[in-house]
Chain A
Amino acid sequence: MATVAPAVTHAPPAQGLGGSPRAGWGLLALLLVTIVAALCAGRYALPPSALVDVLLADLGWPGIEAPDAAARIVHQVRLPRIALAAIVGAGLAISGAAMQSVFRNPLAEPQLLGVSSGAAFGGVLGMMLSAHPAAIVLGAFAFGLGSLALVFWLAGGRGGMSTSIVLVLAGLVVGAVFAAGVSLVKLVADPQNQLPAMVFWLMGSLASADAAKLWIAAPVILPSLYLVYRLRFALLALSLGDEDARSLGVPVGRTRALALAAVGLITAASVAVCGIVGWVGLVVPHLVRLALGAGHRMFLVNVTLAGAIYLIVVDTIARAATPVEIPLGVMTALLGAPMFAYLLRRLRAGGIER
């Protein structure tokens, strides 16, 4: 762990402290382009003119009436899905960056905390106990928060927060228990009716995105995003080591607890609305680090925007490439793992690893 740490914190020094604000504006422009492109893509052939009509009609342009099917597809299918992908992608990416700072380990990612397993257990339990779609969301969120509390309690509260090894072990234990719980629920669930839905949900999907899910995800994920952003200098100090951070006047235990609480909230909310989507928290921060640098002045902003772009792109492929709705978790792993392998090769070729 310790030998790899400098590789990350002092990674590509080429562009100083996370690039200039120019990179951030560039990513914002790219996000807008991605959103427009994603709005145009889908299984239902929607000519760009119909899309323009719908958007103009929304803006109250006089004399324009959008066709019903086109309006429904834009308002009830594509827009909620794109918005949810952006929020969840941004949340998972910034969670990954925060985890990597807190644990001073380039392999840290949100799932390490055990919260996604807890949320997954809550989701499948909700599915087993009730056919109502809200049961999944409520169960996942409740158990996600519960497992976060459990990890904090196991890690020993304020004092214990200062040792990351205890946190990793606590996350491991909680994750293992709830992963076993998921298997148990799958075993006793009705295989004709409930099991296929559980399997599909566990693979992650934004297919059921709607305004209600946006209202669940946004109020949890967006403030958590802001919290991590506010902690950006403390997290940068933390990634240098506890001693260095303390000497810089950073309250180590408090920073760690706040960052992990934000990560836990984001993870629980994202599992609640779209199941388990892996690899985003691992791949996106590394992509940004490699392309734009790792300084925390703009880094977390760049990671947030890149995470949103990444998940919109991946989800657009998942919903538009084939008649079959491809599970999102499958797509993020399928694209994320090779990307990660490529990064690994580049890092090695650059001689950064010692």
Chain B
Amino acid sequence: MTRLTPAARRRALAIGLPACAALAPLAGRAHAAAAARRITDQTGRTVELPPVVRRIVAITIPAASMILCVDGGAERLAGMNPASRDDLTAGLLGRMFPAAMRVPSDVASENFAPNVEALLAARPDLVVQWGDRGDAIVRPIAAAGLPVLTLRYGDSALAGDWLRLIGQALGKAERGDRLAREFDEALADIARQGRAVPDAGRPSAVYFQRLRSALVVAGQGTSMDSDIRRIGARNPAGTLPGFTPINVEQLMAWNPDILLLNNFEPGLTPAAVQADSRLASLRAVRERRVYAFPRGGFRWDPPSQESPLALRWLQGVCDPAGPRLDLRAALVDRYRDWYGHSLSEPEIDGILKIADNGGSHRYAEWFGARRG
């Protein structure tokens, strides 16, 4: 063997070490194969898991906060979607799990395309990925020899099974199953109450996935459409496919009772909508029934472990009689269980966006802190 200069040796080490690190999990898995566990994921694929999952990567955006919720910490979260970082920095999640801020977010792009080398460097025992967005984002992970757990999107009710599957994968099936059961029961209860709303009393509500640069509403096949219908309201956009651009006139022709604002566009507040002169003759604007979705450990508009509370909130703002339970108390109770966190009053105000929504119809009365 030729003699290496010290500099060349350092270089060789620098190249060689990560390569060994990347190969290590492959070797580890060969040993574990004998005792592999099998679970069936949401697209019906059989996933073989090592006896203990020590490192898990979440490419689907809600899975990162869901893993923190099920596992009670960030120790096993080995990688996440770059969009999940936003949940940590802008939402409460980062304050509840400061360790999660150090989790790498280079394992995939925001549109879920995996970066296989970064994935291998994260040495995961399991990767959570969407299963209904084409094989192209799943196959490279499987081809790299990593087990993939695939989830489906489209209706908030699907998120109950996410809890169940993540619980099983992390070896916390009992907690995952209980959280899933509570999730399913809450959604079934809300759906039952929704069905009981008489046809004449159903308000119409439109969710804006985008309002500032264009008007994009949630139609058929979106979780927001299923949520609006679940709580007993009507979605006039429900006949349109997916997230669809419309114009102001179409919105005026629908003239919905309630406008629901997304958690994605910066600066989108009920006040900004109230100030838009094009929208001023809308019934919802005249009656100030414009509400921005809250944001807790996750955004409340898309599905997550927090969907039961999000749906209670939605039920509350759509029902002329207001919410059917004390959402602030429910938040304190649930956050203790989900995240082991005791919410302060200002934190609750922040989640429910009391400042932004405070000017909307009866919001402070329904969701604000009781004074005195």
Chain A residues within CB distance 8 Å of chain B: 42-45, 68-69, 72-73, 76-78, 127, 131-133, 136, 190-193, 195-197, 200-201, 205, 207-208, 210, 319-320, 323-325, 327
**Contact B213 A325, beta carbon cutoff 8 Å:** no
**Contact B267 A77, beta carbon cutoff 8 Å:** no
Expressed in whole angstroms, the Cα–Cα distance for A324 and B246 within the complex equals: 5
**Contact partners of A190 in chain B: CB under 8 A:** 83, 110
**Contact partners of B265 in chain A: CB under 8 A:** 131, 193
**Contact B244 A131, beta carbon cutoff 8 Å:** no
Expressed in whole angstroms, the Cα–Cα distance for A136 and B281 within the complex equals: 27
| Shortest Cβ-Cβ A-B pairs, 7 listed | A191-B111, A43-B250, A43-B249, A44-B249, A69-B281, A193-B264, A325-B245
Expressed in whole angstroms, the Cα–Cα distance for A133 and B266 within the complex equals: 12
In the complex, whether B215 has a CB less than 8 A from a CB of chain A is yes
The tally of residues in B whose CB lies under 8 Å from a CB in A reads: 32
Binding site secondary structure of chain B:
mixed
Expressed in whole angstroms, the Cα–Cα distance for A354 and B280 within the complex equals: 61
Expressed in whole angstroms, the Cα–Cα distance for A69 and B277 within the complex equals: 11
Encode B197-240 as 1/0 by CB contact (under 8 A) with A: 00000000000011011111000000000000000000000011
**Contact A197 B210, beta carbon cutoff 8 Å:** yes
Given contacts A72-B280, A319-B249, 9 further A-B contacts (CB under 8 A): A43-B249, A72-B277, A73-B249, A131-B265, A193-B265, A195-B111, A320-B249, A323-B250, A325-B214
**Contact B248 A77, beta carbon cutoff 8 Å:** yes
**Can you list 7 residue pairs at the A/B interface with Cβ under 8 Å?**
A44-B250, A72-B278, A127-B213, A192-B264, A196-B209, A197-B210, A323-B240
Our pick among B212, B214, B216, B280 for the contact of A131 (Cβ within 8 Å) is: B212
**Contact A77 B277, beta carbon cutoff 8 Å:** no
**Contact A77 B247, beta carbon cutoff 8 Å:** yes
Q: A183 CB to closest chain B CB, in angstroms?
A: 14
Expressed in whole angstroms, the Cα–Cα distance for A320 and B280 within the complex equals: 21
**Contact A43 B264, beta carbon cutoff 8 Å:** no
**Contact partners of A78 in chain B: CB under 8 A:** 249
In the complex, whether B252 has a CB less than 8 A from a CB of chain A is yes
Chain B residues within CB distance 8 Å of chain A: 61, 83, 109-111, 209-210, 212-216, 239-240, 243-250, 252-253, 264-267, 277-278, 280-281
Q: B346 CB to closest chain A CB, in angstroms?
A: 26
**Contact partners of B214 in chain A: CB under 8 A:** 197, 200-201, 205, 207-208, 325
Expressed in whole angstroms, the Cα–Cα distance for A127 and B265 within the complex equals: 12
Expressed in whole angstroms, the Cα–Cα distance for A68 and B277 within the complex equals: 12
Q: A79 CB to closest chain B CB, in angstroms?
A: 12
- If A195-B111, A325-B245 touch, whether A68 touches B212 (CB-CB below 8 Å) is no
**Contact partners of A68 in chain B: CB under 8 A:** 281
Q: A202 CB to closest chain B CB, in angstroms?
A: 12
Expressed in whole angstroms, the Cα–Cα distance for A353 and B252 within the complex equals: 52
Expressed in whole angstroms, the Cα–Cα distance for A189 and B110 within the complex equals: 9
Expressed in whole angstroms, the Cα–Cα distance for A201 and B248 within the complex equals: 16
**Contact partners of B248 in chain A: CB under 8 A:** 73, 76-77, 207
- If A43-B253, A131-B265 touch, whether A323 touches B246 (CB-CB below 8 Å) is yes
**Contact partners of B243 in chain A: CB under 8 A:** 196
**Contact partners of A327 in chain B: CB under 8 A:** 245
**Contact partners of B280 in chain A: CB under 8 A:** 72
Expressed in whole angstroms, the Cα–Cα distance for A192 and B111 within the complex equals: 8
Q: A75 CB to closest chain B CB, in angstroms?
A: 9
Q: B224 CB to closest chain A CB, in angstroms?
A: 14
Q: B87 CB to closest chain A CB, in angstroms?
A: 11
